[in-house]
Amino acid sequence: MGELLADHTTLRLGGPVHRLLTHTDPAAWPDVVRSASAEGTAPFVLGGGSNTLADDAGYPGTVIRMATRGAAIRPLGGDLVEVVVQAGEPLSALVAFAVDQGLSGIEYLGGIPGTTGAAPVQNTGAYGQQISDTLTHVVAFDWRLERIVELRAADCGFGYRASTFKSQLGRWTILALGLRLLRSASAAPVAYRHLAEAMGAPLGARPPLTQAAQAVITDREQRGLALPGSGPDARQAGSVFLNPVITPVQEAAVRRAGGPVHRDQSGGQRTSAGWLLEQCGYRPGSRIGPGVYCSDTRTLTLTTRDGATAASFTSALRQLATEVFEAYGIRLCPEPVRPGLTTGWLEVPAMPSHRAVAKPSSPNQPPAVGSRMW
């Protein structure tokens, strides 16, 4: 047993790995495959570990850490270019590179920790922009077919924080990907009101590329969306739950309570997971369990402090998801991935009948979200 996953994940949790292979040279990929295949167990692929909740017991097989770097620009004609980037390139470095080159299309993704190769897995996104908006293709190793394949964006099953890579975790290792970017001094239209206001621009305006990229970094720092190098919130994986899809009845109740509702790219109505946690009484800084707290600036981000373990973090997630489910009948789905498990890894107990969601006593008496009656 060797290296600790805690040293390779931003939550700083996780026990020893049977074997850690660090992949740095694209040409050496066949050697990595040979080495990992000799183990007989499925390898787990790690990027920056910023969306991974590793077990206290560690991982019994091989972990491949993607550390290939580099990006190349290929003209596509007119103002369009394709940037082909290696999977281990940090996403934030790629965004800085693109902005520096005067290329628009990923400027709102700055400041997100992790690697470019992991971005298609959960269709990483922020401020209304997501990696699937510009992705042309992915070059991946298919562990089932045992060969390198090229997947077009249309084959990747992208949705809100979702993709084929996430629904079939472990099948593909993304080696490189292509992004179609636009040579432009202006950013894509700003889609978030508070970001627009921070730049003194109207919603939908196209601010200067560099100004938009800088505004995103500043906004992330101010709103607890950046990963601090030190301090009480330095150990975290960002948002712990996806914003859940809600039914029309739940949507009406959320709206009556003044809660947020937005339509995702698949047409589903979603509310804010952070808002639901706050309706359950949680606040920035709340202690959830041993060593597990809401971050000092954001309820939806849980941080690990002294005494935290993967088990206590998982219990904290289960506690929060159970409270939301019992109060509102809405199932929260965790955002971080657990090595070796599928995405539905967080089991929430079935709702006891006596806590079933109460119906309004008459159509004229809407249930109040704050009093947990819907």
Ligand X SMILES: Cc1cc2nc3c(=O)[nH]c(=O)nc-3n(C[C@H](O)[C@H](O)[C@H](O)COP(=O)(O)OP(=O)(O)OC[C@H]3O[C@@H](n4cnc5c(N)ncnc54)[C@H](O)[C@@H]3O)c2cc1C
Does 207 contact ligand X by CB under 6 A?
no
Least distance CB 346 / ligand X (angstroms): 15
* 227-228-229 Cα angle (round to 5): 115
Sole window of 149-157, 223-231, 240-248, 310-318 interacting with ligand X (rule: CB under 6 A): 223-231
Does 237 contact ligand X by CB under 6 A?
yes
Chain centroid to Cα 223, Å, comes to 17
Active-site pick, 19, 65, 161, 338: 161
Known active-site residue 361: no
Among 81, 95, 153, 169, binds ligand X (CB under 6 A): 169
Site for ligand X in 91-120 (CB under 6 A): 112-115, 117-119
Cα pseudo-dihedral 83, 86, 89, 95, rounded to 10 = 10
Residue type for 309, please?
T
Site for ligand X in 240-299 (CB under 6 A): none
Q: How many CA atoms lie within 13 A of 323 on its CB side?
A: 15
Q: How many CA atoms lie within 13 A of 10 on its CB side?
A: 28
Closer residue to ligand X in complex, CB, 170/366 = 170
Least distance CB 173 / ligand X (angstroms): 4
Least distance CB 87 / ligand X (angstroms): 4
Closer residue to ligand X in complex, CB, 50/62 = 50
Please list, in sequence order, all residues whose beta carbon lies within 8 angstroms of the beta carbon of residue 154, skipping any fewer than 6 positions away. Answer: none
Q: 55 vs 13, 145, 248, CA distance in Å? A: 7, 29, 37
Binding residues for ligand X, rule CB under 6 A, total: 36
CA pair distance 191, 169, nearest whole angstrom: 31
Among 86, 132, 134, 236, binds ligand X (CB under 6 A): 236
Does 20 contact ligand X by CB under 6 A?
no
Least distance CB 300 / ligand X (angstroms): 10
Closer residue to ligand X in complex, CB, 10/134 = 10
Rama region for 225: left / alpha / beta (φ>0; ψ in -120 to 50; rest): alpha
Among 86, 124, 132, 243, binds ligand X (CB under 6 A): 124
Tell me which DSSP letter residue 133 carries. G
Phi (first) and psi of residue 102, to 5 degrees: 75, 35
One character per residue 311-340, x = contact with ligand X (rule: CB under 6 A): --------------------------x---
Site for ligand X in 42-71 (CB under 6 A): 44-52, 66
CB 321 within 8 A of CB 348: yes
CA pair distance 46, 32, nearest whole angstrom: 14
Among 36, 225, 302, 316, binds ligand X (CB under 6 A): 225
Known active-site residue 371: no
Least distance CB 254 / ligand X (angstroms): 22
Please classify residue 246 by burial: count the beta carbons closer than 10 Å to its beta carbon, then call 0-12 exposed, 13-18 middle and 19+ buried.
buried
Known active-site residue 239: yes
Give the footprint of ligand X on this chain (CB under 6 A). Answer: 10, 44-52, 66, 87, 112-115, 117-119, 121-122, 124-126, 165, 169, 172-174, 225-227, 236-238, 337
Catalytically active residues, by annotation: 161, 239, 335
